[in-house]
Amino acid sequence: MFWVYAGIVVSIASFFVAGYLYQWVKQQPGGSKEAEEIAQLIRNGASAFLRREYRVLAVFAGVVAIVILLFLPTPIWKSDFLTNLKMALACLVGATLSASAGKIGLDIATIANLKSAVASKKGIAPAFGVAFKGGAVMGMAVVGCSLFGASVLYLLTKDANAVLSFSFGASTLALFAKAGGGIYTKTADVSADLVGKVELGIPEDDPRNPAVIADNVGDNVGDVAGMGADLFDSNIASIAAAMVVGLALGQEHLVFCYATLGLLASILGVLFIGMGKHRDPGRALNTGTYITTALYAVLTLVVSLIFKYDLRIWGATIVGLVVAVIIGITSDYFTGDNKKPVEKVAKASSIGPAFTILSGFSYGLVSCFPALLGIGFSALVSYKLCEPLGASYAMFGISMAAIGMLSIVGMIISNDAFGPIVDNARGLVEMANMGEDALVVSDELDAAGNTAKAITKGFAIGAAGLTVIALLGAYRETVMSIAPEMDISFNIMDPLVFFGIMVGVAVPAVFAAMLMLGVDRNAERMVAEIHRQFETIPGLKEGKPGVRPEYEKCIDIATIGAIKELIPAGLMAIIVTLVVGFVGGVHAIGGYLTGNIVSGLFLALLMANAGGLWDNSKKYIETGVHGGKGSDAHKAAVIGDTVGDPFKDTAGPSLNTQVTVVSLISSLAANLFIALSLF
């Protein structure tokens, strides 16, 4: 039990760190009345959206909890009430913690944006410090919450199923929060760009644009709350998967040990990060990541030696860690500013927009190869590494690789939240006219934030990949424990398994399409509203002093649309899973999960990388190549960027969560599938 308590202690420590950083950021000097006003608008818009979204999701979580109470792990009339109640409560707690993590992140991000904007008048180092510390609040809160929740829950129940249900609650909330946030942010972003940049030729973040506040709100609800919920969910899921396999081996203490040390390494990394003398924000972020990685490797090695844990397990976590870094580097290659793909896509843009799309999409396809190879390879190596310890240890090895990959998640979330904070800060500098110097500083931070986001996205997908493979193992473990007499080899040549694979492959595609069509529909409405405002509000287009667009209308459209569109896609994935399970049984589900994992990862990588590539190709052209801003090449690149936005910020990142949710349901409902399936 030592490591469970250690987990609780370290996660409480992370709360203190988060609280300290929160206070520190809050005490930084505020801005002019105008800036405060705009920041307040963003804050209100974000809070209002989150409130409405959470109200819908509370109902949904309630329904799910009742379903769990009635049916899981076994129908209530066949089981004892307490077990089912425990499951239902665990699910609710998971959902609540996930929601809280999102809320905390949003609160700090909508404070830190203004503080960082104000600090950017003093130079790059202070502005970077404020933004990074703001992001770190989120990082600490998310990882702290997840480890704290898992530890306490395990202490109270000693039941792996309850941890699965906890994870399921968190994932389901994350699924809808990400879909909703993703639709919101891209509706606003795409509409603002389309009318502002493309039609009227006014700059980004121009206060005349009625959608500009909604756009800034979107960064917060999509990138901060959404990404936080996603990584919260991956983190919990990796712990849950490792727990299921680990408990069967009596090795669950190792899970807590490695997860706790990961949080510790992240805390230390976050506290010691700084700009250094090079004044390069991107380098500072990367250095932080490398330090955390190295710290984690050393800490776990030392602990393993002291406690005489088998070094093969340690090796498995390190494999996961190394692959995480490699996937990050691959994403960086395919989306990085000064790399070949960006240059090629920029060059293709000078022929026409169709070539922007074709070349960016093609590079996106290629970019999947190294990442999928890396995930498959790390699963293979960690499996083979731990196989000598005993048959079931092999699967435990994979789940420990997932734990290793997610060990530095505290640092990753901090880097990731940095992006939308500085993006918002840039918007505030522009909208509140804070001056040219501040704009240069905030531009530089924004660029660093973009690169960091591409890398953390690759990381998030890789982490989800290993986690869901581990969950597949957990699913098998669950089936074995329920029906030990069953043959649970999921043989591809079994037509039920194959059928499952085919359906599993199709689901992420439909899921992604539903979200993107949601953005399409929503953006149509918002574009119409922006046009209406420019036409009917006198003086708006000309920028007459004192004339303000009706920002709230656009915020309303984004909010209502996102709330309406966020449920169907997620529900589709859940329902198809249940149908496959009740029709084809546990074997079909084994295939279904595999198909879902591979196609989910593939599409997520494709969309994240192609989206990032288009975005940076546009920025690359804006530096003056191929005619620079306003040229035909630039117009083509803007079209690519607009296509890429829902790719990389709506559909792509939601796919991770879809795969996780589906994997968790399968484990939870395994009992029912065994008892009730058609085949």
Q: Judged by CB under 8 A, does residue 497 bind its own copies?
A: yes
Q: Judged by CB under 8 A, does residue 678 bind its own copies?
A: no
Q: Judged by CB under 8 A, does residue 506 bind its own copies?
A: yes
- Nearest distance, CB of residue 619 and its own copies, angstroms: 17
Q: Binding residue for its own copies (CB under 8 A) from 142, 150, 174, 194?
A: 194
Q: Judged by CB under 8 A, does residue 396 bind its own copies?
A: no
CB 337, CB 448: distance < 8 Å: no
Q: Judged by CB under 8 A, does residue 455 bind its own copies?
A: no
Please say which residue, 211 or 421, places its beta carbon nearer to its own copies.
Answer: 211
H-type alpha helices, 219-352? 227-249, 252-272, 281-307, 311-335, 340-349
**Cα–Cα dist 415/270, whole Å:** 10
Residue 225 tokens read as 């709350």
Question: Which residues are within 8 A (CB) of 214 and not within 5 positions of it... i.e. 6 or more apart?
Answer: 45, 187, 188, 192, 526, 551, 554, 555, 557, 558
Site string for its own copies, 398-417 (x = CB under 8 A): x-------------------
Site string for its own copies, 197-236 (x = CB under 8 A): -x--------------------------------------
Q: Containing H/E element for 379? A: helix 353-386
Please say which residue, 288 or 595, places its beta carbon nearer to its own copies.
Answer: 595
Which of the ranges 89-97, 313-321, 409-417, 499-507 carries the binding residues for its own copies, by CB under 8 A?
A: 499-507
Restricting to residues 566-595, name those near its own copies by CB under 8 A: 590-591, 594-595
Which of the ranges 136-144, 151-159, 523-531, 563-571 carries the binding residues for its own copies, by CB under 8 A?
A: 523-531
**Cα–Cα dist 450/443, whole Å:** 11
CB 192, CB 549: distance < 8 Å: no
Q: Judged by CB under 8 A, does residue 137 bind its own copies?
A: no
Q: Judged by CB under 8 A, does residue 375 bind its own copies?
A: yes
Restricting to residues 459-478, name those near its own copies by CB under 8 A: 469, 472-473, 476
Q: Binding residue for its own copies (CB under 8 A) from 158, 369, 435, 539?
A: 369
Cβ-based neighbour number of residue 29 at 10 Å:
12
Q: Judged by CB under 8 A, does residue 501 bind its own copies?
A: yes
Name the residue with tokens 């505290």.
Answer: 410
Which of the ranges 41-49, 117-125, 360-368, 550-558 carries the binding residues for its own copies, by CB under 8 A?
A: 360-368
Restricting to residues 14-73, name those near its own copies by CB under 8 A: none
**Cα–Cα dist 215/106, whole Å:** 15
Please say which residue, 279 or 340, places its beta carbon nearer to its own copies.
Answer: 340
Which of the ranges 168-176, 210-218, 259-267, 379-387 carries the binding residues for its own copies, by CB under 8 A?
A: 379-387
Q: Say how many residues make up the chain.
A: 679
Please say which residue, 42 or 588, places its beta carbon nearer to its own copies.
Answer: 588
Q: Binding residue for its own copies (CB under 8 A) from 132, 602, 620, 673?
A: 602
- Nearest distance, CB of residue 584 and its own copies, angstroms: 8
Q: Judged by CB under 8 A, does residue 517 bind its own copies?
A: yes
Q: Judged by CB under 8 A, does residue 373 bind its own copies?
A: yes
CB 123, CB 441: distance < 8 Å: yes
Three-state DSSP string of 555-605: HHHHHHHHHHHHHHHHHHHHHHHHHHHHHHHHHHHHHHHHHHHHHHHHHHH
For helices 353-386 and 551-622, give the axis angle rounded to 10 degrees. Answer: 90
- Nearest distance, CB of residue 106 and its own copies, angstroms: 27
Name the residue with tokens 């309406």.
Answer: 564
Indicate the Cα dihedral angle 417, 418, 420, 423, nearest 10°. 180
Q: What is the DSSP letter of 36?
A: H
Cβ-based neighbour number of residue 499 at 10 Å:
19
- Nearest distance, CB of residue 195 and its own copies, angstroms: 10
Restricting to residues 604-643, name those near its own copies by CB under 8 A: 606, 639, 642-643
Which of the ranges 139-147, 273-281, 390-398, 660-668 carries the binding residues for its own copies, by CB under 8 A?
A: 390-398
